[in-house]
Structure 1
Amino acid sequence: MGEQLLSVGIDIGTSTTQLILSRLTLENRAAPFTVPRVAISDRQVLYRSDIHFTPLLSDTVIDAAGVRDIVAEEYRKSGFSPHQVDTGAVIITGETARKENAREVLSALSEFAGDFVVATAGPDLESILAARGAGVDEYSREHHTTILHFDIGGGTANLAQYAHGELIATGCLDVGGRLIKINRDSGLVDYVSPVLARAGCQAPAVGEPCTPEGLRPVIQTMVEALEQAAGLRPGRDRLDAFLTAGTSWTPEPVGVVSFSGGVADCIDNPPENWLAYGDLGVLLGRAIAASPAFQRVDRYRGAETIRATVVGAGSHATDLSGSTIFYRDVKFPLKNIPILKLTAREETGSAEELAAAIRDKLSWYADQGGLVQTALALRGEKNPTYDRVRTLAQGVAAGLRPLMDGGFLPIVAVEADQAKALGQAMASLVSGPLLCLDGVGMDNGDYLDIGAPVAGGSVLPIVIKTIAFHK
């Protein structure tokens, strides 16, 4: 049996907070006398916490102490101590990631997180994590098909489209189960999201009674927005009305859809009581299940629904970079750097097309303070010509310019053996620090640690941290 690690995943979302403890078995899959290639060979869920409503002090402030108390109590109930945990991930998602004190919450959980992957996930990153957690990437790869995944929570519906295992688009709609909150005892409305008025929905006012019949127009409008996002309904009027500010989405007809998030539980197995959760979740799930448009396409049911965003934790796989690296004025070590990976088509475009694709995707990892340090992952080419290396360098340098203007280090990780040539070509285009390394294969949603050079400066020790999704 290989090495075993105890991992934790903590997900603090718009509606719910939850924790999962898993045992990961690691296996070295490299041939003898070669650099180790460690992979997760088995994952056993040891403890799934209760699903708690995320405590808030106001509509814009998370109750950091309340979240900490939930996590501490779930650790106690699990029988495990934080000191026993080897690895993990703490992810703040949905509207919660945009609360005023999201970073304060991460600080409050520091004793439970250690050296884990810690992120406030914007809508694009959350879309990726949820889709991978549901197994959409593998389904798309194994079935050689295009699939659109919806992760529908309390405040948002995150979209991720995969084609043949490759992420090709992400998006976000302000569609969720808790856009209206209803008192389960009185049946009176407690809260109405301003999103609904902005989208032109005639929602009941706070303090008014409501019924499933009265809520039907709101529910139907949201379902039509999802149908248009999947290219299953003509037009894009509903889609545009619910698009999250700062995001975009170009609908294309798809043959397979998938759902996760709290609302997904209500698609196949809705509670009999429509007010079971004091919101729209049950009614929205039922309406999606009854949609003729969604019934016309195949549906992949992932192993995880409400727990798809963080179903495991961060698994640390130590490796070495290739020996053709380039670095200049870099202060090592570098830790917890999110990976941005382009599609094969984007990577092989012109310098202008490459730069545009990079700039567009940099926003995936923006937080309330703007862009964050990110590493660009490329496949590269086995035997590129000088002109192709030059084109690649020009596109990458121009695409990463917003990062450099923000004071961040340009980092490029290439799978093929060409980092030194690429770094030398970029050196004349980029002033200041620069790092290019190769022999590294990663994906969107992974994180990277880079240590100081070893072996006479010829290689870099690296740690790839990947969320240990259910497989």
Structure 2
Amino acid sequence: MKEELLSVGIDMGTSTTQLVLSKLHIENMASSFTVPRIVITDKEVIFRSDICFTPMLPDNRIDAQKIKVFVEEQYKKAGIKKDEIQTGAVIITGETARKENANEVLQTLSGFAGDFVVATAGPDLESIIAGKGAGAHTYSKEHSTTIVNIDIGGGTSNLALFSHADLLDTGCLDIGGRLIKVDQHTHQITYIAPKIEQLIELKGLGQKIGQRVTTVDLQPIIQEMVQLLEESVGIRPQSEFYDTIVTNKGLKLDRPIPCISFSGGVADYIYNEAPEDVFMFGDIGILLGRSIAASPLFNQMKIVRAVETIRATVVGAGSHTTEISGSTITYTEESFPLKNIPILKLAWADEVGSEQQLAKTIADKLNWFKVNKDLQRVAIAIEGKKNLSFQEVQKYARGLHAGMAELIEREYPLIIIVHHDMAKVLGQTLYALLNYEKDVVCIDSVLVDNGDYIDIGKPIANGKVLPVVIKTLVFN
């Protein structure tokens, strides 16, 4: 089976919104006797939209109607009708990832793709998506190394640390190209973000709103921002202001980081020559990029050029339909369908430790899925083992039970995805630990990764089979 899918990725950030249309070639790689395994064999970008500033309403929510008009215009430019699109993803990031707003945008755009993945990404999930989009995840795997990707946008710098294909850690700093806005024509400062104002005051640098500035006047504060980025990856000791500039958390820095890549809008001016008019966007983004290119970040670490910068694109596809025996899963009919549940995939190193380490890792990593401190639904994915002993099953179950405490408090079912064939025994052990009072969906023989989403349909064949669709965000 070979098929082509037309897919759309819409990325709405604090500063900009853009859209990419791709053609995905998909093929079923499984033999005729096994569960279908749909793989994306090729992808080609057929249209890249204009990049517009994200339209906002006075109360700081996204202007959903204007977004809809923008999307309609771009489809027209591409010569595509919306009902030709079979799959896609809308990723809402940065300041715009506000809950009530995200739902409104989803409603407005619901007719624009067959079956959208819509994700509001807090700073950690945004780091993961950008790091994968930049190619850092793949690079760490192919070169057996550790690499950090810094995605520098208008408001934040998102860090993702990958080692040998495992995602180890994420971080985020309030450093970006639009934290100081400068009038294109008069060169007067029109806006300074609160934290940057604090930094200017702390260092006695003197830049203020209304001041006419040259690149020389702005250099001292930009230099401070670059030094904070150097601190974030461990090549400079952390200063007194570092904890203030961190959005929610920084990287742990418990290992050396040899390689670095950059993505986001500012990255274009790290890798490329800056244009003559450095204030053409009305901000300091171009100057920030130029300063990073001249900093120790560039000469003390190995630079890996990102495959995508401002367009770390997202599209959704890839599906498995998995058969599961009725006794593997414990659920009530009302639990389904479950749609667009993000996946937290543990690194193998997390699984081989003690149950306490497993629990702590899960609890820590669940923070990746918080938007405004509110935990979203999450499915936990583990590798698992073949031929487990009774003790090992107990270790997994107790570690998962303790680590998922915050999810257990929620009304939604616990969803565990295991690669190896052990879901039945693990699901039953967990269900017992929960006093048979909480819905558990434990499925195996499904391969997933961080950044994927899962749909689980209503049980079929007298409750013996659950249809499962894995949606992979495909990065160009």
- Could you say which TM-score interval applies, normalised by the shorter chain? over 0.9
Which one of the candidate residues 203, 212, 216 is aligned to 2:215? 212
Task: Say which is worse superposed, 228-237 or 352-361, in terms of deviation.
Answer: 228-237
3-state DSSP of counterpart to 2:5: strand
Alignment partners' CA distance in 1, 2:453 and 2:212: 47
Counterpart of 2:285? Answer: 281
Alignment partners' CA distance in 2, 1:85 and 1:394: 44
The aligned length equals: 467
3-state DSSP of counterpart to 2:342: strand
Amino acid at match of 1:22: S
Once the two structures are TM-superposed, the CA of residue 185 in structure 1 deviates from its matched residue by 1.2
Q: Is the 8 A contact 1:390 1:425 kept in 2?
A: yes
Alignment partners' CA distance in 2, 1:284 and 1:54: 21
Task: Say which is worse superposed, 250-259 or 17-26, in terms of deviation.
Answer: 250-259
Partner deviation per Cα, 1:156-208 (whole Å, 9 max, x = no partner) = 00000000011000111101000011110111112111121344464632222
Partner deviation per Cα, 1:229-268 (whole Å, 9 max, x = no partner) = 1111123545323100x32422343111000000000112
Counterpart of 1:265? Answer: 268
Partner deviation per Cα, 1:55-113 (whole Å, 9 max, x = no partner) = 22347332222222211111111111111100000011112214873432333222224
Amino acid at match of 1:55: P
Alignment partners' CA distance in 2, 1:124 and 1:293: 22
Once the two structures are TM-superposed, the CA of residue 2 in structure 1 deviates from its matched residue by 1.8
Q: Is the 8 A contact 1:224 1:238 kept in 2?
A: no
Counterpart of 1:359? Answer: 363
Amino acid at match of 2:221: V
Amino acid at match of 1:300: V
- Within a 5 Å distance, the mapping from 1:155-174 to structure 2 comes to 155-174=155-174
Instruction: Say yes or no: does 1:390 pair with 2:398.
Output: no
Alignment partners' CA distance in 2, 1:235 and 1:312: 34
3-state DSSP of counterpart to 1:23: strand
Alignment partners' CA distance in 2, 1:233 and 1:293: 10
Once the two structures are TM-superposed, the CA of residue 394 in structure 1 deviates from its matched residue by 0.9
Counterpart of 1:468? Answer: 474
Once the two structures are TM-superposed, the CA of residue 374 in structure 1 deviates from its matched residue by 0.9
Q: CA RMSD in A?
A: 1.9
Instruction: Say yes or no: does 1:320 pair with 2:326.
Output: no
3-state DSSP of counterpart to 2:413: coil
Alignment partners' CA distance in 1, 2:207 and 2:54: 24
Counterpart of 1:409? Answer: 413
Q: Is the 8 A contact 1:371 1:406 kept in 2?
A: no
Alignment partners' CA distance in 2, 1:64 and 1:112: 13
Q: Is the 8 A contact 1:7 1:312 kept in 2?
A: no
Task: Say which is worse superposed, 347-356 or 220-229, in terms of deviation.
Answer: 347-356
Task: Say which is worse superposed, 344-353 or 176-185, in terms of deviation.
Answer: 344-353
Alignment partners' CA distance in 1, 2:56 and 2:12: 11
Alignment partners' CA distance in 1, 2:444 and 2:423: 5
Counterpart of 2:10? Answer: 10
Which structure 2 residue ranges, 5 or more long, are not aligned? none
Once the two structures are TM-superposed, the CA of residue 369 in structure 1 deviates from its matched residue by 7.3
Counterpart of 1:192? Answer: 192
Q: Is the 8 A contact 1:325 1:459 kept in 2?
A: no
Q: Is the 8 A contact 1:197 1:203 kept in 2?
A: no
Alignment partners' CA distance in 1, 2:102 and 2:457: 29
Once the two structures are TM-superposed, the CA of residue 435 in structure 1 deviates from its matched residue by 1.1
- Say if 1:450 and 1:425 are closer, same or farther in 2 by CA, change over 3 A: same
Amino acid at match of 1:90: V
Q: Is the 8 A contact 2:123 2:172 kept in 1?
A: yes
Amino acid at match of 2:286: V
Alignment partners' CA distance in 2, 1:99 and 1:188: 35
Alignment partners' CA distance in 2, 1:438 and 1:456: 19
Alignment partners' CA distance in 1, 2:359 and 2:411: 18
- Within a 5 Å distance, the mapping from 1:14-163 to structure 2 comes to 14-58=14-58, 60-98=60-98, 101-163=101-163
Amino acid at match of 2:227: E
Alignment partners' CA distance in 1, 2:99 and 2:35: 43
Counterpart of 2:259? Answer: 256
Q: Is the 8 A contact 2:27 2:38 kept in 1?
A: yes
- Say if 1:254 and 1:353 are closer, same or farther in 2 by CA, change over 3 A: same
3-state DSSP of counterpart to 1:101: helix
Which one of the candidate residues 411, 426, 432 is aligned to 2:438? 432
- Say if 1:160 and 1:178 are closer, same or farther in 2 by CA, change over 3 A: same
Counterpart of 2:309? Answer: 305
Once the two structures are TM-superposed, the CA of residue 133 in structure 1 deviates from its matched residue by 0.9
Q: Is the 8 A contact 1:329 1:432 kept in 2?
A: no
- Say if 1:277 and 1:109 are closer, same or farther in 2 by CA, change over 3 A: same
- Say if 1:87 and 1:25 are closer, same or farther in 2 by CA, change over 3 A: same
Amino acid at match of 2:365: K
Percent of aligned pairs with the same amino acid: 50
Once the two structures are TM-superposed, the CA of residue 455 in structure 1 deviates from its matched residue by 4.5
Once the two structures are TM-superposed, the CA of residue 29 in structure 1 deviates from its matched residue by 1.4
3-state DSSP of counterpart to 2:216: helix
Alignment partners' CA distance in 2, 1:103 and 1:211: 42
- Say if 1:113 and 1:239 are closer, same or farther in 2 by CA, change over 3 A: farther
3-state DSSP of counterpart to 2:319: strand
Q: Is the 8 A contact 2:328 2:428 kept in 1?
A: no
Q: Is the 8 A contact 1:135 1:302 kept in 2?
A: yes
- TM-score, normalization by structure 1: 0.95
- Say if 1:415 and 1:463 are closer, same or farther in 2 by CA, change over 3 A: same
Amino acid at match of 2:417: A
3-state DSSP of counterpart to 1:304: coil
Once the two structures are TM-superposed, the CA of residue 336 in structure 1 deviates from its matched residue by 0.8
3-state DSSP of counterpart to 1:20: strand
3-state DSSP of counterpart to 2:35: coil
Q: Is the 8 A contact 1:192 1:205 kept in 2?
A: yes
3-state DSSP of counterpart to 2:321: strand
Which structure 1 residue ranges, 5 or more long, are not aligned? none
